[in-house]
Amino acid sequence: NAGVTQTPKFRVLKTGQSMTLLCAQDMNHEYMYWYRQDPGMGLRLIHYSVGEGTTAKGEVPDGYNVSRLKKQNFLLGLESAAPSQTSVYFCASTSDRILMNTEAFFGQGTRLTVV
């Protein structure tokens, strides 16, 4: 049981380049989330999905797009990378709404550097 798997683990982009981060979970979870982690700050929610075919904005959605075409996959896209998007990105999934006190499962993280 792999849980939540993120690819790639590391990436260096030049300003203006695009890329897609993939999150895959094998727990049949409905809810999936993308967070970014920056020094001195708590994890911040970028976008989330409450089920296949749905997406919603989180706290810091600007500059990112997401898609959830399949229940097990949640993709995070950067159309035109900026140095401010240098961060560690984490994907997470839950079986139910956060308010239902459900445990969150996280991926290993993707360290992205934009130069």
Partner 1 sequence: KNEVEQSPQNLTAQEGEFITINCSYSVGISALHWLQQHPGGGIVSLFMLSSGKKKHGRLIATINIQEKHSSLHITASHPRDSAVYICAISNFGNEKLTFGTGTRLTIIP
Q: Which of 13, 12, 18 is nearest to 80 (CA)?
A: 18
| Pick 17 or 111: Cβ nearer partner 1 | 111
Determine phi and psi for 58, rounding to 5 degrees. Answer: -100, -145
Q: Which of 109, 113, 68 is nearest to 91 (CA)?
A: 109
Binding mask 38-77 for partner 1 (x = CB under 8 A): --xxxxxx--x---------xx------------------
Mapping DSSP to helix (H, G, I), strand (E, B) and coil, where does residue 84 land?
A: helix
Name the one range near partner 1 by CB under 8 A: 14-22, 37-45, 61-69, 70-78: 37-45
Cis peptide, bond prior to residue 8, ω within 30 of zero: yes
Q: Find the shortest distance in angstroms from Cβ 17 to partner 1.
A: 24
Contact 19, 110 (CB under 8 A): no
* Residue 108 within binding range of partner 1, rule CB under 8 A: yes
Mapping DSSP to helix (H, G, I), strand (E, B) and coil, where does residue 100 land?
A: helix
* Residue 109 within binding range of partner 1, rule CB under 8 A: yes
Q: Find the shortest distance in angstroms from Cβ 106 to partner 1.
A: 4
| Pick 19 or 43: Cβ nearer partner 1 | 43
Residues that bind partner 1 (CB under 8 A): 33, 40-45, 48, 58-59, 90, 92, 97-99, 101, 103-109
